[in-house]
Amino acid sequence: MQTTTAFSVHPRADRATSEQIAEVLAAPKFGAVFTDHMSRIDWDAQSGWHDGTVSAYGPISLDPATSILHYGQEIFEGMKAYRHADGSVWTFRPDRNAARFNGSARRLALPEVPEEIFLEALTALVNVDQQWVPESTGGEASLYLRPFMIATEVGLGVRPSNSAAFLVIASPAGAYFASGVKPVSIWLSEDYSRAAPGGTGAAKCGGNYAASLAPMAEGLANGCDQVAFLDAVENQWVEELGGMNLFFVFADGHIVTPELTGTILEGVTRSSLIDLARERGHEVHERKYSIHEWRDDVASGDLVEVFACGTAAVITPVGRLLWKGGELSIGDGESAGAVASDLRESLMDIQCGRAQDTHGWLHRLL
């Protein structure tokens, strides 16, 4: 067990029983049930970060005039804790999430969280709720961790809040694809943009996701699972999905992923897959890739696989792209491509401790 300094731990008396936890872990639904506790630490301009606690999970009381409720000054992260076969619990590249969180904080005019405090908040929570981390069963079950920060100043003046709260909550997650990895259908958003130059596209803030919901509803109405966004200026460069980065695999083995332009979120999975793919001998190009190229490359047969990636699903193959009045298919539309499957397994093997962590990507929580 690791000791924490910034957080005092107050275990609740009415914890879930082992039977109740076992029932949740038997069939976890993403983000539906939360563990017994949450971490919280507050910040204000005078005192800095103070009064860190791990205490009972439950509602947060906010004055109706709290700035988060009106102006959306909020950021978050998404991570996972994985139990290895020896019972130890690890997380993946948390330094990357901490750095991205602080990049988001700067963009949203929120205070940065020192990396030690970010890690302590996770460690202390996973420690007290360790029963909620699913057993290592050779599958992909994990405890999803959601660090987030909200502006807590009370008042309707539009200005950076002079106080904030950083919290971490956790929810058991099962296999993203319960019946095997299946390609998804993607809706191409032509009327809505996700992010514009100078905007918040590279930050992980709630507003980006709020703005993606109308196009998502459009996609769902058209039978799609996710939405792909193009750049806001020329409306032709493929950026990413609402919550995942995109990769394109070509017949000669090379891979293209949209370059980081400031309007795309820099995924931890994206960075890791670029490294793993290169180690496997794939040339990986981070460059602009247009929707016209996508259509032409499918027509010519050069583009053989498309996949999306992110912490939640690791890799999701894309089987079809639909837009108003058209669609295209990639591969057989039924099964994951060879490159997507290989990279997915390689990354999950590292995360779950089945393969050696030669990159030093894992961080032990327990």
Ligand X SMILES: Cc1ncc(COP(=O)(O)O)c(C=O)c1O
Residues that bind ligand X in the complex, under the rule CB under 6 A: 78, 240, 243-245, 265, 267-270, 310-311
Closer Cβ to ligand X, 183 or 267, answer by number: 267
- In the complex, the smallest distance separating the C-beta of residue 308 from ligand X, rounded to whole angstroms, is 8
- In the complex, the smallest distance separating the C-beta of residue 174 from ligand X, rounded to whole angstroms, is 17
* Distance, CA of 57 to CA of 70 (rounded, Å): 24
Closer Cβ to ligand X, 49 or 209, answer by number: 209
- CB neighbours (10 Å) of residue 134? 21
- In the complex, the smallest distance separating the C-beta of residue 270 from ligand X, rounded to whole angstroms, is 6
What 3-state DSSP class applies to 327? Answer: strand
CA–CA distances in Å: residue 279 to residues 254, 355, 359: 12, 15, 11
- In the complex, the smallest distance separating the C-beta of residue 79 from ligand X, rounded to whole angstroms, is 8
DSSP count for the chain of H helices, then E strands: 9, 18
* Distance, CA of 309 to CA of 356 (rounded, Å): 22
CA–CA distances in Å: residue 144 to residues 92, 133, 194, 259: 11, 9, 25, 27
* Distance, CA of 124 to CA of 37 (rounded, Å): 10
Strand intervals (E) in 190-302: 226-230, 238-241, 245-250, 255-258, 284-287
- In the complex, the smallest distance separating the C-beta of residue 244 from ligand X, rounded to whole angstroms, is 5
Closer Cβ to ligand X, 75 or 89, answer by number: 75
Closer Cβ to ligand X, 43 or 229, answer by number: 229
Closer Cβ to ligand X, 34 or 101, answer by number: 101
